[in-house]
Amino acid sequence: MSGNSILSKLAPLVIAFALINACGTNPVTGKTELQLVSESQEISIGQENYLPSQQSQGGVYVIDKELSRYVNAVGQKLAAVSDRPELPYEFVVLNNPVPNAWALPGGKIAVNRGLLLELNSEAELAAVLGHEIVHAAARHGAKSMERGMLLNAGIVGLGIATSGEDNAELIVGAAALGSQLISQKYGRDAELESDLYGMKYMAKAGYDPAAAIKLQETFVKLSAGRQSNWLEGLFASHPPSQERVDANKATARQLNVKGVRNEDIYQQRIAHLIKTKPAYDQLEQAKTAVKENNPQKAMALTDSALKIEPREALFYALKGDIHYYEKRFAEAEKSFTTAINYNPEFFLFYLERGLTHEKLTQNTLAKQDLQKSIALLPTAPAYHALGTIAEKENDLQAAKEYYGKAADSKSEAGQKSALAYTRLDLPANPSRYIAYQGGADRAGNVVIELKNRSLVPVKNLRLTVNLYAESGSRIFQKDFQMTQTIKPGAQVSLTTGVPASALGKAGKVQVNFTGAQIVE
């Protein structure tokens, strides 16, 4: 028996042995479960994806830093009484109007300002954060990854479904994993489990666990009303249900404790959010006006928002977007610079200013901004723009590298980059794009079927055909040039005139492509 046969028979046993040894005890439920992702890997995944995930979801809310400290303090109080207090928990507030909260493996948690406005007390905030802590502590994100591993032959791959919210579809490279993890939809068991243990953490931390009942009842009502901002946020990943309300009531009866709710304290903490909410509402209206091709209305709404909150970088960035839309690039550059001055840690402002510098043919400044945006969050538009600049500067190798990175995205920029990469790469490497297969025509002669698998039409395809007899000796060699245009996905035939019988049953066809032209 060959060595390969032995390995093929041993492989299932090796995998089975690995799975047996990967069993462990869930630190929250105490149940035995498969654990392919170790604790150190959980922590590493959370740390590596926390900042990119924040960036993709609007960035940190920097105007009221006391609010972020307050949310973190409440979260840390709950984390300290959790079943995994040793995890490096962090809690941030994101500058996102969509009511949502999420947790990455290892205890990296975020809550949107849009959700904070919907809560009524510190106890309800504790219910949200406690729920997310359980998702991390009970390894719900890690288990989703483990299911992905099993679906990919046991040991390989970390892929799970993603809904592509916010900037998620623009992300390329390793940073895309974070957007996949935070947009996953948790199952019924995971949600009930997070409610149950989250309420237990609330009670241990001194909060009234009954606040989780009221919170879930509110969510069910909002779900019935099908409010769009909730459907694209919390309800997409944490679907509410009457079953969860009933389970929370049962848990509260079982716990039988009365803790604090701190309604007044919570309202004081979110007072600035409440005060400035009209400004952010106007921002959303201004975005709609831009989509409706009404820049004048959008600018008026943005100016009105700035009177309420003059420190919000997003408002200046939208002014920049409007100027860019109107091709007033110098004014756009000034607005994006102001946005960066107010918040120098958000990728989008550097990306937009970089694209504006490109329009102003200020390539050095453009490259600096685009690289800064990529350092915060690697995106297809940034890589595509860098590729375009490199191509203009005749640095074709760098252009291909940038286009290749952007092409990982399914966004418009990713599709453009895939086309640009092909345009640069195909003429020198046609074998990557043109498939071939030998066959015989009706006269019994050898024909070569050529198929264009690229995204662009090709002409003047140059190739060398080699035919080998059953004995291994070459019986035919000839250079050809296909002058006709071969459209994407199209197939053409090349007749050699050599009888197929001359090759025998074990004959061989070999084609070497030496060049091609793109049809512009």
In whole angstroms, what is the distance from residue 103 CA to residue 96 CA?
Answer: 16
In whole angstroms, what is the distance from residue 110 CA to residue 126 CA?
Answer: 13
Reported as a pLDDT band with limits 50, 70 and 90, residue 168 is: low
Phi and psi angles of residue 433, each rounded to the nearest 5 degrees, phi first: -120, -20
In whole angstroms, what is the distance from residue 171 CA to residue 24 CA?
Answer: 34
This prediction has a pTM of 0.85
pLDDT digits (tens, 9 = 90+) for 343-353: 999 999 999 99
> Would 288-422 and 430-518 be classified into the same CATH topology?
no
pLDDT digits (tens, 9 = 90+) for 117-128: 999 999 999 999
Share of the chain above pLDDT 70, in %: 88
Query: Nearest-CA neighbor of 501 among 460, 446, 456?
Result: 446
Question: Token digits for 206?
Answer: 């001194």
Provide the residue type at 309 as one letter: E
93 forms beta bridges with 111
Least confident of 154-158, 188-192, 264-268, 413-417: 154-158
Query: Nearest-CA neighbor of 78 among 26, 128, 32, 38?
Result: 128
Residue 165, pLDDT above cutoff 50: no
CB atoms inside a 10 Å sphere around CB 17: 11
Residue 157, pLDDT above cutoff 60: no
CB atoms inside a 10 Å sphere around CB 101: 24
In whole angstroms, what is the distance from residue 474 CA to residue 482 CA?
Answer: 23
The CATH number for 430-518, chosen from 3.40.109.10, 3.40.30.10, 3.40.1350.10, 2.60.40.1620, is: 2.60.40.1620
In whole angstroms, what is the distance from residue 208 CA to residue 423 CA?
Answer: 63
Reported as a pLDDT band with limits 50, 70 and 90, residue 153 is: very low
Q: What value does the mean pLDDT take over residues 441-466? A: 95
CATH architecture of 288-422: Alpha Horseshoe (1.25)
Question: Token digits for 105?
Answer: 């493996």
Question: Which pLDDT belongs to residue 39?
Answer: 83
In whole angstroms, what is the distance from residue 446 CA to residue 429 CA?
Answer: 25
Which residue, chain included where needed, has tokens 């400290």? 69
> Where exactly are the structural domains of the chain?
22-266, 288-422, 430-518
